[in-house]
Amino acid sequence: MNTWLKFAPVSGICVTLAILCSGCAQAAPPMDFVDLDYFQIDCSRRTEQIAFLQSLRSTADDRLLARATNALTPWRMFTNPSAYYNNAAQGSSRTDWVINQKLIALRDDCRSNP
């Protein structure tokens, strides 16, 4: 049997997976990880900021999808490093950790404001 005939189905499967994963990669978090890390606490807008930060939390499915996207599209590390880094942060729960730190800062630093 010709080698090309053995390789063609595998190649087609790989292309199909790449197309599907590139579609998954389009779902971006509402805020980049770097921007979230530099998010400034404003005690006069405490309630709004708490609601906003809570809305940025990821679900277990979001974290799984972020890890799978990075695993299935490793070239994004070079072609789109910011998206790869955002997925890595979300997949490892670093994003949620930063959100927790911001919420703790809001709780501790804004005690005098209602």
Decide if 85 is inside a domain: yes
Decide if 61 is inside a domain: yes
Decide if 76 is inside a domain: yes
Decide if 48 is inside a domain: yes
Q: Which domain holds residue 90?
A: 3-109
Decide if 74 is inside a domain: yes
Domain total for the chain? 1
Distance in angstroms (rounded) separating the CA atoms of residues 101 and 37: 10
CA atoms within 13 A on the CB side of 10: 5
pLDDT tens-place string over residues 49-67: 999 999 999 999 999 999 9
Decide if 114 is inside a domain: no
What's the whole-model pTM score?
A: 0.71
pLDDT tens-place string over residues 40-51: 999 999 999 999
Distance in angstroms (rounded) separating the CA atoms of residues 77 and 85: 8
Distance in angstroms (rounded) separating the CA atoms of residues 109 and 114: 12
pLDDT at 31: 84
In this prediction, the residues of the chain whose per-residue pLDDT falls under 70 are 1-29, 112-114
Average pLDDT score, the chain: 82
